[in-house]
Structure 1
């Protein structure tokens, strides 16, 4: 007989989520077990709207951090058009999502006419796309950082000229070569030019850091924060390209770990600005090591959530999202002895679950791991119950319109 877990579940709203936590976190992370389903993003939007009433002012999503600046400019000041922002401001194809479009539209409408102290902010926190289809050129980040510094320091303090950077970078398609993700010999990441660029990026960031104590006004703080973002991204991308050219067995795990480290660095910077809702795949936000099977091998790396949690302690909270069915992807009713199966038996379509209480009710009977017939969906890991602050459960995911 299945245990009665009814009392562990509550309606999904910001108040119920915050009640699960020992303190109000600066970063409240909400994961998802799959991408591309607007039902998950619509729930995220609802929670964010409610969190705004609780003092949260930023939403950060798993999208290119530099492209995210385009979205942030739009929601703050209306720069560009909504169509342009959705096309240029997101990576991974997320700009095509109707739910993401509605989020951006709502944030812009909310900010319109309000004082800057009340503005909502948008951030991408992915270091930049580092996928099997190819990586990103460090050009945009490096040249933006150099431009910021060249306008503020004497030219003889700069480690190089803009022309030198351009020559060392060469054509962008050298960096974005799709085959390099699988074939190290196709990567330029360990070329003489790339090694020189790593030294220059380090010098530029050191030059920026050395000027941190200079007086920063409200306007210049925004520019300084962006310069720090350019520096983090440039160094992270060059480091990732270096490992893309590596031939050791640990190459791919190192690349996955570097991507999450870039995410973690961006999240820690976002936390400095104030409370934020963070949304990404469960794998990036969980406190435990992440695992993925690739090329016939299991790869492990520390997630961004694990890094940030170690730094912020109670300032970081994580709720995983679990799903009952995604029938249009072949994910049918879960087995009753899995976490998803236990939650699927509840008489509600969606809920937020107190994992401490759920673990207490289950007792020593550990739920079975669920198997997924769909490669794009990763089921909830029952061994994570003790490390998560809660579970958001959605019973059925209909096809996105």
Structure 2
């Protein structure tokens, strides 16, 4: 019995259309399906199960491949993904994990492709740059908060086929490429100043979506530009806080124009580098005026068309402190962060509180936006906005474990702009 959440309702309605002579039924394609069942799996999916789900997957996401060879390769990746999801969800139903997975448009991506789309560049030295350190207030912080509810967050966007942290259905190489965050320790010593948030008076919980700080979920597509979406997300929230106007800002401007500051367009970037560019450029254009293309293109920025600007930026300190991050999120608004998103669990996340102890707190490859925090049934979580479209996760969002020793590095490289 398939245990994929919602996948049955989405895929099982389509008829199994393969003919006896199809490529998928050929002898060289019919690998031993037991190869795809993880060790310890209590069941084995039949080849027919994989075939039917594959056909429905292609119909649902409009998948087309160049030739039979590529489809065979994609199908093999897909079978591995489905088997992994089935086994994980079996564990979820047996109360062995706190979150569940589902098929999404990334199910046929190879690990290399998936890694490429995570485009965050983590440069630790950038933390000592122009952005000031910020030490958040941590004693009076909401128990939970969701800045989407307060209007600070724009819709989830799509970075496209560019190192911009996306979630399309491609191979692992493609998935890797779309995680385009560049973590460079030197960036932490750049323009952004240290900020020590107030931590004694912080809401118990908060969701900035409820207060108008958050635009709808966007989609970076097949482009490692996650860093640009995280940058615009926190800027959109702070611009709303200062002006009362929520404007969806241009990621494409950052992708095209911030190369001289250390970013690499669809091949990755760093949030602090992006803030430095925005300060120097004098602002950002709107997404409407400078639309997203999911590719690195010629810079077409017009300073006269800017709709939002920032005066400086700040890094949340102490680094690695979830208490400090809570103070910043609770009292300031949505905060840009970087995480380790390389796992299959993250790639296929659907719901629940994501808890993956094997996640690294220092090997960061993907930039996202924390828009709130809270607790449920004894589990503390962060509300995180991704840029892989509303088809990924819970409408484009994920609940990530909080107070679990900086799991996935969520408090390792947190920063925000100052309007």
What band does the TM-score fall into relative to the shorter chain?
under 0.3
TM-score (norm 1): 0.27
Tell which structure's C-alpha radius of gyration is larger: 1
**Bigger share in strand:** 2
- TM-score, structure 2 length as denominator? 0.26
